[in-house]
Amino acid sequence: MFACILCSGCHTNGDDICPMLIFELRTPQAQKPDPKTRIDLAVEGQGSSGTFLSACTQRVEGASFVFQRDFVLGDERSRMRALIVSPYLPTQAGEQVFLLAIARNPKPRGFTEWQHPNYMAKDAGWAIMYDKKVDIISTNIPPDSFELRYKVEMQNLGPEWNPSMRRKDSK
């Protein structure tokens, strides 16, 4: 079930006000990340939303590339949310898993500090979505891993938006 906060009073057209996860991934320019790198927001008991690095807004900040994108959080009142960065080539080390400290009822907040992945894993998204044990490959994070920071904002998605339009797989 998906429901955003339906505004009553000031918005008479029933616009949806939803919590949005705004995330930024940072990597040194020397890394030249693959645009086919997949990024998923996995939510325990709910499913996932995904996109690719190529669909993110990109900017240069000092000696780093910073990629930005968002996901609708909606009413997912789960215990665990994770952003998972998966390499395009399956022969690479595994998925970089960032555990997100977001309350069950998300409230707006500013950007977190930059953080390294909590661990490396394989098929972490499936394990998180189905409340299974994650097979952790390593907590020894390579120095060339992505870094993450994120924030939560409330956004009006407009009267034409509906839950079936949730971003599942962007180009």
Q: How confident is the model at residue 163 (pLDDT cuts 50, 70, 90)?
A: low
171 within a domain of the structure (yes/no): no
168 within a domain of the structure (yes/no): no
Q: How confident is the model at residue 137 (pLDDT cuts 50, 70, 90)?
A: confident
What is the number of structural domains in the chain? Answer: 1
Q: How confident is the model at residue 146 (pLDDT cuts 50, 70, 90)?
A: very high
Q: How confident is the model at residue 171 (pLDDT cuts 50, 70, 90)?
A: very low
64 within a domain of the structure (yes/no): yes
Long-range contacts of 90-99 (CB under 8 A, 24+ apart): 93/120, 93/137, 93/138, 93/142, 94/120, 94/121, 94/122, 94/137, 94/138, 95/120, 95/121, 95/122, 95/123, 95/124, 95/125, 96/120, 96/141, 96/145, 96/146, 97/121, 97/124, 97/134, 98/148
79 within a domain of the structure (yes/no): yes
Lowest mean pLDDT: which of 13-27, 41-55, 100-114?
A: 13-27
Q: Residue 165: is its pLDDT beyond 80?
A: no
The residue ranking higher by pLDDT, 92 or 114, is: 114
169 within a domain of the structure (yes/no): no
pLDDT (tens digit per residue) in 56-102: 999 999 999 999 999 988 665 667 889 999 988 765 678 999 999 98
Q: What are phi and psi of 76, to 5 degrees?
A: -70, 95
Alpha-carbon separation of residue 69 from 1, 11, 41, 58 (angstroms)? 24, 27, 11, 9
40 within a domain of the structure (yes/no): yes
pLDDT (tens digit per residue) in 4-29: 433 333 333 445 678 899 999 999 99
Q: What is the C-alpha to C-alpha distance for residues 107 and 114, in angstroms, rounded to an integer?
A: 20
- The pLDDT > 90 percentage for the chain reads 43
170 within a domain of the structure (yes/no): no
Q: How confident is the model at residue 162 (pLDDT cuts 50, 70, 90)?
A: low
Give residue 143's domain range.
5-163
CATH number at residue 124: 2.60.40
Q: What is the pLDDT of residue 160?
A: 65
